[in-house]
C-alpha cells in the first residue's frame, strides 16, 4: 500500500540507503562494463517481481490473510521473496540475452531525459522509504491488518502522512513508473517500455482494491486525506496535519 502504514515520525534508514546504493552499484558496474547491463537487469528483476506479487496478492487478500494468520510474517517473506519475486527475477535473468538486445539507437536527448527521471525518482523513492520501512516493500501492512496478525507480528498500523506523502498519495507508484520509464529511455530498451506499460495496467487493477481496503481500515481520516492530497500529481504545498485533523 503506497499510502503507508507505519508509525508517525519513525525513520527507516536501512531501506532508504539500500535503495539508493543499489543504483550507485549498478551505475558504477555498467560504467566499468562500458554498456547498460546491470541497471536494466535490476529494474526488470525488481519491478517484474513486484508486478507478479501485486497480481497474486491483492485480488486474494482474504485468502492470504487466512492462510498466513497461523504461519506468520516469515512464511510470507519466504513465499514472496523466494517464490514470487525470486522466480520472476530468475526467469527474467535467464531471458536477459534476448530482451537486453531489444533496443533502439541511442538518442542523446532521450538519454538525458531518462537520466533526469532516474535520479529524481531514486531520490524521492529513498525519501519515501525513509518514512515507511520494509513493511511496505514486502506488503506486510496489507496482509497483516489489526486483529489478523498485525500485533503478534509487530507490523505497524498507522497512516504515515509525512515526507512525500504530504504532497501526493502515491509517491512510490509515481516514482516506480518514472524509474522504469527513465531507465528505458536511458538504456534505449523496448522491453523496459513494455514493462512500464504493464506496471500501469497492474496499478489500474490494484489501486481500487487498495483504496477500498484503506477506507475500510482508516475511515474518515483516510477519506479526508484523499480529499486534500492528489493521487498522482503532487500538490504545490504540503498538506498540514491540522488540515487532516479538521
Dmax (CA) of the chain: 56
Q: How far apart are CA 69 and CA 155, in angstroms?
A: 13
Query: Which ranges of 133-170 does DSSP label H, i.e. alpha helix?
Result: 134-137, 140-143
In this prediction, residue 202 carries a pLDDT of: 92
CB 194 within 8 A of CB 180: no
- DSSP of 186-237, one letter per residue? HHTBHHHHHHHHHHHHHHHHHHHHHHHHHHHHHHHHHHHHHHHS-SSS--SS
Q: Is the pLDDT of residue 146 over 70?
A: no
In this prediction, residue 8 carries a pLDDT of: 44
Read off the pLDDT of residues 159-216 as tens digits, 9 standing for 90 and up. Answer: 778 889 999 999 999 999 999 999 999 999 999 999 999 999 999 988 888 888 888 8
With cut-offs at 50, 70 and 90, classify the pLDDT of residue 9. very low
Domains detected in the chain: 13-245 (1.20.120.1630)
Q: How far apart are CA 89 and CA 42, in angstroms?
A: 9
CB 8 within 8 A of CB 162: yes
In this prediction, residue 5 carries a pLDDT of: 39
Give the mean model confidence (pLDDT) for residues 49-61. Answer: 87
Higher-confidence residue of 64 and 109: namely 109
Q: How far apart are CA 65 and CA 104, in angstroms?
A: 44
Read off the pLDDT of residues 99-141 as tens digits, 9 standing for 90 and up. Answer: 999 999 878 999 999 999 999 999 999 998 887 765 555 566 6
pTM of the entire predicted model: 0.89
Q: Is the pLDDT of residue 98 over 70?
A: yes
Read off the pLDDT of residues 15-48 as tens digits, 9 standing for 90 and up. Answer: 888 899 999 999 999 999 999 999 999 999 999 9
With cut-offs at 50, 70 and 90, classify the pLDDT of residue 158. low
139: its cell numbers:
506488503
With cut-offs at 50, 70 and 90, classify the pLDDT of residue 233. very high
In this prediction, residue 203 carries a pLDDT of: 92
Q: Alpha carbon of 150 to those of 105, 139, 156: distances in Å?
A: 50, 12, 7
Higher-confidence residue of 5 and 66: namely 66
CB 187 within 8 A of CB 144: no
Distance of CA 43 to the CA centre of its chain: 12
Residue 106: strand, helix, or coil: coil
Amino acid at each position: 500500500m503506497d499510502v503507508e502504514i507505519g508509525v508517525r515520525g519513525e525513520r527507516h534508514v536501512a531501506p532508504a540507503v539500500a535503495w539508493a546504493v543499489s543504483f550507485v552499484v549498478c551505475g558504477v558496474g555498467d560504467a566499468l562494463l562500458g554498456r547498460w547491463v546491470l541497471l536494466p537487469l535490476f529494474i526488470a528483476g525488481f519491478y517484474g517481481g513486484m508486478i507478479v506479487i501485486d497480481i497474486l496478492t491483492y485480488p486474494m487478500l482474504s485468502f492470504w490473510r487466512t492462510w498466513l494468520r497461523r504461519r506468520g510474517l516469515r512464511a510470507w517473506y519466504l513465499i514472496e521473496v523466494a517464490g514470487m519475486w525470486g522466480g520472476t527475477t530468475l526467469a527474467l535473468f535467464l531471458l536477459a540475452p534476448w530482451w537486453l538486445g531489444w533496443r533502439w539507437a541511442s538518442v542523446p536527448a532521450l538519454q538525458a531525459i531518462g537520466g533526469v527521471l532516474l535520479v529524481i525518482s531514486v531520490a524521492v523513492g529513498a525519501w519515501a522509504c525513509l518514512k515507511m520501512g520494509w513493511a511496505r516493500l514486502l506488503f506486510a501492512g496489507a496482509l497483516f491488518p489489526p486483529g489478523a496478525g498485525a500485533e503478534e507480528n509487530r507490523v505497524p498500523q498507522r497512516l504515515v502522512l509525512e515526507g512525500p506523502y504530504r504532497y501526493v498519495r502515491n509517491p512510490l507508484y509515481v516514482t516506480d513508473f518514472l524509474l522504469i520509464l527513465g531507465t528505458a529511455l536511458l538504456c534505449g530498451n523496448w522491453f523496459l517500455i513494455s514493462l512500464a506499460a504493464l506496471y500501469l495496467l497492474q496499478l489500474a487493477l490494484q489501486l481500487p482494491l487498495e483504496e477500498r481496503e484503506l477506507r475500510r481500515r482508516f475511515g474518515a481520516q483516510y477519506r479526508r486525506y484523499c480529499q486534500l492530497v492528489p493521487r498522482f500529481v503532487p500538490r504545490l504545498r504540503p498538506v498540514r496535519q491540522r488540515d487532516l485533523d479538521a
